[in-house]
Chains A and B, each alone.
Chain A
Amino acid sequence: GENVEQHPSTLSVQEGDSAVIKCTYSDSASNYFPWYKQELGKRPQLIIDIRSNVGEKKDQRIAVTLNKTAKHFSLHITETQPEDSAVYFCAASSVVEGKIIFGKGTRLHILP
């Protein structure tokens, strides 16, 4: 089955700087890669996703890149703000099975 690895587990970034979170996946059949943000005590919220037919997608300060050959995908947050502090999860989904498998998460701290 699918296995998603996520790094780093913790990331501290100065406010205004950029943050990058990297993930790898194992199942070449996966073609949907969402990213979720989870604040303390709340449900995961989808912040951006990318499908296998594109290599990059951007939404304001957030961008995601995908390298299908290497089975890598990354989340980039620019001009970080205090409200970006949260746990971020990458995930991968298989076309056939439809289920979403999560990475272990990255706790992002934005330092004032």
Chain B
Amino acid sequence: SAVISQKPSRDICQRGTSLTIQCQVDSQVTMMFWYRQQPGQSLTLIATANQGSEATYESGFVIDKFPISRPNLTFSTLTVSNMSPEDSSIYLCSATRYGGIDTEAFFGQGTRLTVV
């Protein structure tokens, strides 16, 4: 299985500011994703991080609010921009080693974000 390091593990931020979360995978993976998990809820997919190109966003999420980069196969960042208390959540990075029939996802430990 792949090891995913995500940082920071938690942060408390002022509203109106931005936070960038980093995700590093220990081996080359095919795909990387970012999820949000609000308290007591399931994981909601924010976007697919595409290497060297713009991320693919799910309905309800936009690039201006959640810019994502993936400069190489093993690293990605998610920025939560112009934060409000509604952005308080856990953000999880996920990676898969192969696509298609062999898809298996691994998760980072998550970033617990509190916006005050």
Chain A contact residues, CB within 8 Å of chain B: 1, 31-32, 34, 42-44, 46, 49, 51, 53, 89, 93, 95, 97-105
Contacts and interface: CB of A to CB of B under 8 A. Distances in A.
A85 B107 CA distance: 20
Contact of A98 (B31, B44, B107, B110): B31
B100 interface: yes
Contacts, number: 59
Contact of B96 (A31, A95, A98): A98
A51 B96 CA distance: 15
Contact of B104 (A34, A43, A104): A34
Contacts of A98: 30-31, 48, 96, 99-100, 103
Interface of B: 30-31, 33, 41-45, 48, 58-59, 92, 94, 96, 99-101, 103-110
A105 to B, nearest CB: 5
Contact of B105 (A42, A46, A97): A46
Contacts of A1: 58-59
A51 B104 contact: no
Nearest to A104: B42
14 contacts: A43-B107, A44-B92, A51-B101, A89-B43, A93-B103, A95-B100, A98-B30, A98-B31, A98-B48, A99-B31, A100-B33, A100-B96, A102-B45, A103-B42
A107 to B, nearest CB: 9
Given A99-B31, A100-B94, A32 B42 contact: no
B103 A101 contact: no
A31 B31 CA distance: 17
